[in-house]
Chain A
Amino acid sequence: MTVPPGATHGTAGTQETGGTDEAMGVYLASVMAEIDEEAHRRRGELPARLERELDALFLEHAPMGNRQGDMSAALRMVDASVFIDPVVPVASQRPAGAAVKKGLRSLNLWYIGYVTHQVSKFATAVSRSLHLVDGQLQELRRLVPPPSPAPVVAPGDAGSWWRSTALDVLGAAPGRVLHAACGDGWLVRDLCGAGADAYGLDPRPDAVERAELDGSDLRSGEVLAHLRSVEPFSLGGAVLSGVVAGMSAGERSELLALLADRLRRDGVLVVHSLTPVAWTADDAPVGADLAPGRPLRSGTWPHVLAGWQVEVHQGPTAEDYLVVAQR
């Protein structure tokens, strides 16, 4: 294989095959980081006009929403389109076509040039405004701390003391039952066995990657984003284990508002949480330190869920509790 001039071997390129999925991800990220750096280094090598044209070609069919809402990519497209060229192409498939077109262009060039100049001025003004907005947005972004989703802490497993209570109250749920964080789907399977139509969600990708292959309806995802896309009054129940305790107050507030809207009137909400004492104990899970929020005391839930019928079940070791709520 011919090595192109200017090509560089990065450090990531010297590694050999092997390792875990995580190692693979780190390796791929390091290769892409080297490529990004190299692409950045080459800025200015191409004539500016050619680079603008190539960028415009790339962005012409880029998706509407643009995955990361990439403002700079959108602005590049705006910038590439700002200049309106008054010099109309004159190529023609007919013998005299090009000459005729060229003649027409010469006759009209002053007029077309005047109009395109106004349009270009307008587009430039719009582009400048958008750059200003972008600059201010970036400034705001620096001031506002980035969102830090709560990690999953103590989500439970098949041996959890509250499993039977959850099965009792949700086995005959009047609609689909969501379990977040579902882990390997232990409760989803039990709920389905008990007659419920259950599905699971977990923000930890590894858990669901395995489960997807066994045909269960288990998905990777965050509970808040998920609930925003659920049809109103469609869920028969929701079990939240390991995801509520570490939420910030704002996230918890949005979660409860969403649940009130997405659960049917006769739907059942089950929340499992560590107690504040267990959360701050020396042997608490690491996630407790990294979470933006802290768990509520069990007695606070009836106030948080005002208007619901709330039952609190204390765990056998005072480390955790279960809230069962129904409207």
Chain B
Amino acid sequence: MRVAFVTPRYGPQVMGGAETAARLLAEHLVAECGATVDAFSTCALDHVTWRDELDPGESTLNGVRVHRFRSRAGRDRGFYDLDTRLRLGPRHATRRESERWVELNGPVTPDLVEAVRACDADVVAFYPYLYYPTVLGIGSVPMPAVLHPAAHDEPALYLPVFRSTYASADALCYHTVAERELVERLHDVAERPQMVLGLGVGEDAGTGRAGGDALGLGSRPYIVSVGRVDDHKGSSMLAAFFRTYKERRPGPLAMALVGPVAAKIPPHPDVVVTGAVSEADKWDIVRDAAVSVSPSALESFSLVVLEAWVQAVPVVVNATCPPTREHCERSGGGLWFGSYREFEAVLDRLLADAPLRRRLGEQGRAYVDRHYRWPVLIRRYERFLETVVARGRRQPASGLLAADPA
């Protein structure tokens, strides 16, 4: 089977949930199913500017043939004005306004779309729904198209331009049931072939070094939050909550924020902001944490929650984030908070109750073993793609796509 992935950024240097997910699926399809996989992407690493940083052209990465295209335009400065205006009432944006939003958001890549259209893949997987390559590509390819929305409840999801994106998908692949429910609340796609897949995780890839040593905390207990340190990911909120917590609960407890930094976190003697770290360091740090916190309300899957469970570390998640909360409710591997008071009560309880931490961690690990190990997961995905290929391309709805806005 020949599979093409379309994603706006591609590569191990890219820190982005959807892009990482696309790359992992592509690589595991090659390695474990013997599929021929092409990835169509841009030369960008930064999802804010979409600046061309990598060389255009073809290369091979872990068995996947990667085709990179320069962007005709990255994110336009005018995007922010339009976005600010539309996010107040995205459902009421006009079709033209929301098309303009997609153009200004970038990356504008008509060459990429043309190349996907002309490729010889049996099926094309578009990942995620939000950007130009998917919006312009999914309705125009001749082969069956699978949409991996990677959607979360954000204003953009309500823009009218995405109706045709969803309507053009022959099949959908979701990260979680919560994501499927969200998409189906907004789009009439429930009868389409679909699956809730998620992502696979591997085993602990740490070196065995104590996490406290990696953080310079010695033997102090700590909680950890892994992922981009960003306002939108809840990092500033978590830092403020933790500062207040420490004012009310002085003691040795520290917090580590692990990941590339895109937000200003005020310095605090009990908060360590590591920046990007190696995979080995990340696993070492998470393994020895008392609790792993996912403060983000805008996740569509959250690999870091599953990685904590691989090491039997209990998690605490944002109560308003349906996918991470779904993980906790289905697995019994974590708790959630919806305010500072709940955050404090959850943390107090977990830190004081070692059997509870152990039990949550074990239940989380069992959940990962049951659902998110690569060999089983990638075979399910392969079978799913085969059924999509067998069904063929459905008749595109009329008037789906605007003319190329570039």
Contact = CB atoms under 8 A, between A and B. Distances in A.
Do A and B form a real pair?
yes
B252 A46 contact: no
Contact of B232 (A2, A8, A14, A61): A61
Contacts of A51: 340-341
A24 B188 contact: no
B376 A14 contact: no
Interface stretch (A37-45, A123-131, A306-314): A37-45
B237 A60 contact: yes
A66 B182 CA distance: 10
B321 to A, nearest CB: 7
Interface range on chain B (Cβ under 8 Å from partner): 35 or more
A62 B320 contact: yes
| 9 A-B pairs closest in CB distance | A63-B153, A7-B352, A229-B190, A229-B184, A7-B348, A54-B340, A24-B332, A39-B341, A39-B345
A173 to B, nearest CB: 12
Contacts of A220: 177
A13 B356 contact: yes
Interface in B246-300: 249, 251-253, 290, 296-298
B231 A43 contact: no
A58 B340 contact: yes
A10 B349 contact: yes
A159 B32 CA distance: 38
A45 B340 CA distance: 11
Given A176-B191, A229-B188, A42 B237 contact: no
A217 B180 CA distance: 13
Nearest to B358: A17
A89 interface: no
19 contacts: A4-B352, A7-B349, A8-B348, A13-B355, A13-B356, A24-B332, A28-B332, A35-B342, A38-B345, A60-B231, A61-B297, A64-B153, A64-B154, A199-B193, A212-B195, A215-B379, A215-B380, A226-B190, A234-B191
A229 B185 contact: yes
A1 interface: yes
A10 B363 CA distance: 19
B49 interface: no
Q: In this complex, which of A38, A39, A51, A231 has the most chain B Cβ atoms within 10 angstroms of its Cβ? A: A39
B335 interface: yes
A64 B320 CA distance: 10
Interface in B227-245: 231-232, 234, 236-237, 240-241, 244
A264 B346 CA distance: 51
A304 to B, nearest CB: 23
A74 B112 CA distance: 42
B391 interface: yes
Contacts of B184: 225-226, 229
Interface string B351-391: 11111101100110000000100001001100110010001
B352 A213 contact: no
Given A42-B345, A61-B298, A65-B185, A55 B252 contact: no
